[in-house]
């Protein structure tokens, strides 16, 4: 049966280049980190700016809510991780975390930990209950590490994407990867877990313009999604609908049926390159960060 999707644009805000977006789990907020070094919180219900503050003169490539602490954590090109109170915007902590740009910060769903992924080819785990001590360093990639994401079915494991062209699977307690997925012909920018009929898959988006679907157990590529005409920047699986969402430097957002892998929609909102995608559980809304601003759509219709 074909998917019946009703896609509506709900929010657009023009700004400088947006490198990451995160949706707050309970508030109507989009956290956007900008290439200019600023972080903004947009209220998509009232269509207003809640808060904005300058983090650094360098690009902030990743910012995430740590909702259970009312914090925001950022990673930037000046190699620092910074933690802020989301209500007062007061800085709680800052420290030099890597020897090169920080591409991604990922918050563990239950443990008091954040992963940081860097151009120094390392991933590090930081424990805020131990004063943000680095409790593990993960080595194995041979190029920039672009993203890391926790496994929703087993939070003791995570996957990473690297410009070395691989996706690696890691156990939190071990510094070396458990396994490596190879198949892209160029660097991998983005990775996400994808549960379908109780089976676990991985998605990866690459500079080879493709998105690959991997059987997590067999460690094999089961499908390649081809439509983008430039580097694929971000991939994600919608938490409420059986759709895969991909975005690219070609300026488009592609929506694919997660069961048949058929391309359902191609969206272009004219904001140039689409760098990042964010979803939240229990919601049909999806946010995107682009060269010229932030956009949010709702994906209604039948599941």
> pLDDT by residue (tens digit) across 225-278?
999 999 999 999 999 999 999 999 999 999 999 999 999 999 999 999 999 999
Sheet of 154-162, strands arranged across: 145-151, 154-162, 166-171, 179-182
For residue 3, the model assigns a pLDDT of 74
Indicate whether 207 pLDDT > 60. yes
Q: How many whole angstroms separate alpha carbon 183 and alpha carbon 48?
A: 43
CA-closest candidate to residue 20, choices 87, 100, 107: 107
Instruction: Calculate ∠ Cα 281-84-101, nearest 5°.
Output: 85
Query: Average pLDDT, stretch 153-174?
Result: 97
Helices and strands of the chain, counted as H and E runs: 0, 28
- Separation in Å, CA 27 to CA 22, 70, 159: 11, 11, 28
The confidence band for 2, taking pLDDT boundaries of 50, 70 and 90, is low
Three-state secondary-structure class, residue 128: helix
Average pLDDT, the chain: 96
| pLDDT value of residue 1 | 56
Q: Which two tokens stand for residue 88?
A: 């007062």
Burial readout 266-276 (b: 16 or more C-beta within 10 A, e: otherwise): ebebebebbbb
pLDDT at 302 over 90: no
């Amino acid at each position: 049966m074909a998917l019946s999707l009703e896609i509506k644009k709900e929010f657009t805000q023009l700004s400088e280049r947006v490198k990451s977006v995160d949706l707050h789990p309970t508030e109507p907020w989009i956290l956007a980190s900008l290439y200019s070094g600023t972080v903004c919180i947009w209220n998509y219900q009232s269509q207003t700016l809640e808060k904005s503050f300058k983090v650094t003169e360098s690009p902030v490539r990743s910012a995430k809510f740590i909702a259970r602490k009312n914090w925001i954590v950022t990673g930037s090109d000046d190699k620092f991780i910074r933690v802020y109170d989301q209500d007062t915007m007061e800085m709680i902590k800052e420290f030099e975390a890597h020897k090169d740009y920080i591409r991604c910060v990922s918050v563990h769903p239950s443990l008091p930990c954040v992963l940081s992924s860097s151009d120094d080819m390392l991933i590090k785990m930081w424990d805020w209950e131990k004063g943000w001590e680095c409790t593990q360093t993960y080595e194995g990639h041979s190029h920039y590490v672009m993203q890391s994401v926790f496994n929703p079915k087993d939070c003791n494991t995570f996957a990473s994407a690297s410009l070395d062209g691989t996706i690696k699977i890691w156990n939190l307690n071990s510094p070396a990867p458990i396994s490596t997925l190879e198949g892209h012909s160029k660097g991998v920018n983005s990775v996400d877990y994808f549960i379908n009929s109780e089976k676990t898959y991985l998605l990866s988006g690459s500079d080879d313009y493709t998105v690959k679907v991997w059987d997590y157990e067999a460690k094999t590529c089961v499908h390649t999604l081809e439509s983008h005409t430039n580097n694929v920047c971000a991939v994600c699986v919608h938490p409420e609908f059986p759709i895969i969402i991909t975005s690219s430097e070609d300026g488009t957002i592609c929506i694919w049926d997660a069961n048949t892998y058929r391309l359902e929609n191609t969206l272009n909102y004219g904001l140039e390159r689409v760098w990042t995608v964010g979803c939240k559980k229990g919601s049909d809304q999806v946010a995107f960060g682009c060269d010229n601003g932030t956009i949010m759509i709702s994906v209604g219709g039948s599941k």
